[in-house]
């Protein structure tokens, strides 16, 4: 097998041809061709373009086995071609949390709290949602690590007019979490003092920013939330999300 591949660009990248040279049959060659095509598209975007070119994968085969014994249809590389066809030949599923009513979100059981926070984290004062958040906390028990990450995430990234009051409301309404909230508040206050910040809790949260974002992202990924949504919601980079998925 030769590792050479040639990509020819025509009509200012509106059309491109991918021409790998192959001397041995390869069962998953169609997938490899698709990888070449996607790589060419990525290079096109990196040059400042905002639309994708049509890349035509063409296999130049010169091996001893004749004719070429494997399919060059990418769907045939999957263990279930029919399922792959149903997934990859139509628009990908979209979960647009911004248009789902809160009344429906709160029925989503153990992911309801995450969804509610993600929907409003940048658009509403989270203090206004303290009652709904506390109610969901009372319904679904969160592990301590996730609870801390969620609260820090809300205080740091949310439009929270009064972080101290928000924590107080959660402690009063979700009594099972009162000790945890008070611990978080005290830790944030101490961190703020150590950093020399005057705003205490609000500034102390900066130190835990990355940790809380990773905790939220890890939980969202575990619940099957699309990585693009996780990236947009938490602000983590692709590399950081990849590390969580390894």
> Exposed, middle or buried, 88 (CB in 10 Å: 0-12/13-18/19+)?
exposed
Tokens of 173: 């309404």
pLDDT at 6 over 50: no
Strand partners, 20: 5
Cβ atoms of 178 and 137 closer than 8 Å: no
pLDDT at 3 over 50: no
pLDDT at 140 over 60: yes
The predicted pLDDT at position 27 comes to 95
What percentage of the chain has pLDDT greater than the value 70?
84
- Quote the CA–CA distance of 95 and 86 in Å, as a whole number: 18
Cβ atoms of 40 and 7 closer than 8 Å: yes
Average pLDDT over residues 95-104: 93
The predicted pLDDT at position 52 comes to 92
Q: What is the pTM of this model?
A: 0.61
Give tens-digit pLDDT for 164-216.
Answer: 889 989 999 988 888 888 888 887 777 666 655 455 555 556 656 677 778 88
- Quote the CA–CA distance of 82 and 87 in Å, as a whole number: 9
- Predicted confidence band of residue 15 (pLDDT cuts 50, 70, 90): low
Tokens of 213: 């974002």
Give tens-digit pLDDT for 33-61.
Answer: 999 889 989 998 999 999 998 888 888 89
The predicted pLDDT at position 2 comes to 42
Query: DSSP secondary structure string, 189-204?
Result: HHHHHHTT-SSTHHHH
Cβ count within 10 A of residue 245: 11
pLDDT at 103 over 50: yes
The gap from C-alpha 58 to its chain's centroid, in whole angstroms, comes to: 33
pLDDT at 14 over 60: no
């Amino acid at each position: 097998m030769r590792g050479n591949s040639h990509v020819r660009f025509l009509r200012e990248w509106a059309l491109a041809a991918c021409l790998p040279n192959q001397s041995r049959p390869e069962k998953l060659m169609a997938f490899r061709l698709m990888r070449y095509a996607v790589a060419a598209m990525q290079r096109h975007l990196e040059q400042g373009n905002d639309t994708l070119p049509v890349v035509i994968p063409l296999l130049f085969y010169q091996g001893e086995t004749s004719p070429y014994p494997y399919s060059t249809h990418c769907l045939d590389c999957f263990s279930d071609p029919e399922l792959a066809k149903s997934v990859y030949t139509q628009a990908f599923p979209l979960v647009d949390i911004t248009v789902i009513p809160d009344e429906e979100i709160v029925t989503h059981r153990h992911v309801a709290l995450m969804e509610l926070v993600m929907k409003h984290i940048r658009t509403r004062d989270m203090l206004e949602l303290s009652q709904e958040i506390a109610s969901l906390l009372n319904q679904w028990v969160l592990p301590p690590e996730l609870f801390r990450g969620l609260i820090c995430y809300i205080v740091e990234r949310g439009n929270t007019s009064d972080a101290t009051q928000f924590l107080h409301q959660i402690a009063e309404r979700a009594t099972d979490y009162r000790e945890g909230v008070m611990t978080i508040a005290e830790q944030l206050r101490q961190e703020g003092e150590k950093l020399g910040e005057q705003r205490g809790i609000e500034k102390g949260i900066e130190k835990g920013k990355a940790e809380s974002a990773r905790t939220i992202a890890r939980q969202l990924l575990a619940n099957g939330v699309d990585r693009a949504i996780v990236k947009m919601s938490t602000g983590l980079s692709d590399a950081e999300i990849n590390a969580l998925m390894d």
